[in-house]
Amino acid sequence: MAKASALGRGLGALLSEIEEAYDNELPKKGGVEEIAVSKIRPNPYQPRKHFDSESLAELAESIKTHGLLQPIVVKEDLDGYILIAGERRLRASKLAKNKTIKAIVVSVSDEQMREQALIENIQRDELNVVDLAQAYQELIDIHELTHEQLSQTVHKSRTQITNTLRLLQLSEKGRKALVEGKITAGHAKVIIGLEPNEQTMMIDSIIGQKLSVRDVESMVKKIKVPSTAQHHSNEIEELNFSALKKHLSSLGYKCGTKGYKVTIEFEDNGQIESFLDLLS
């Protein structure tokens, strides 16, 4: 609980508007500076892996017309700067062909830099659902939080956090399809728990046949039942009938086996009666 409390105290400003975060949580080295874009490296702890190209293009046009209204946050490094917050603004500025960008230089530890990147993206809803799940998991791992503690820290419901984290059980193909909008979170929820090859088959079917969530639910039920039956079938096929066949043959009965079945051939009624006497 101590770790969770420490995290909560340090996030008061980080969860608010970035300007307040500058004043309350991130120690400044100076005011707003103009820094060469070429000298800024990405944040190695950035949880966001996917950026919408259309959205970036719109932001780039806005920057061309109105300038950058909100500076980015960077940390000074040996041969330049490391981005702390504002990757969309930096990427859009590059698209706008800007050589420099407004930035605030701060002094933070690597741990603070990591938390800032995670929390900024979570609170601003800038992450797709898969990146969000990975960000949640990273915060849980860093601070050894329960889902309930994380819920209180980032102000999201525990159910939302738990359901989002379950998406990490998707195969790599499933995560990619979800991020690209080829399947919905509803589809993803249904196929979680299937084997990777089964997930692949279902994803291809969803995309190719435009299946609804209800369609997928029905198909998944059919996949799970036969797989259980096949498992039992495999066990039965391993039954050893050799001793039984040998004994019946010694008594004069013709028999054969197939799978879990034994077939006995009778020559006449007398042989049937003798067989019944044998059983009794």
Q: Is the pLDDT of residue 120 over 80?
A: no
> Can you give the residue ranges of every domain in the chain?
11-126, 170-236, 242-279
Query: Taking the model in full, what pTM does it have?
Result: 0.49
The CATH code of domain 170-236 reads 1.10.10.2830
Q: Could you report the per-residue pLDDT of 218-228, keeping only the tens digit for each?
A: 888 888 765 44
Residue pair 100/35 in contact by the 8 Å Cβ criterion = yes
Q: Which helix (H) or strand (E) holds 74?
A: strand 72-77
- Encode pLDDT of 42-78 as tens digits: 877 666 666 777 888 888 888 888 888 788 888 888 8
Length of the chain: 280
> pLDDT by residue (tens digit) across 122-148?
766 556 788 888 888 888 887 788 888
- Cα angle value 195/197/203 (rounded, 5°): 100
* CATH code for the structural domain at 11-126: 3.90.1530.30
Active site residues: 87
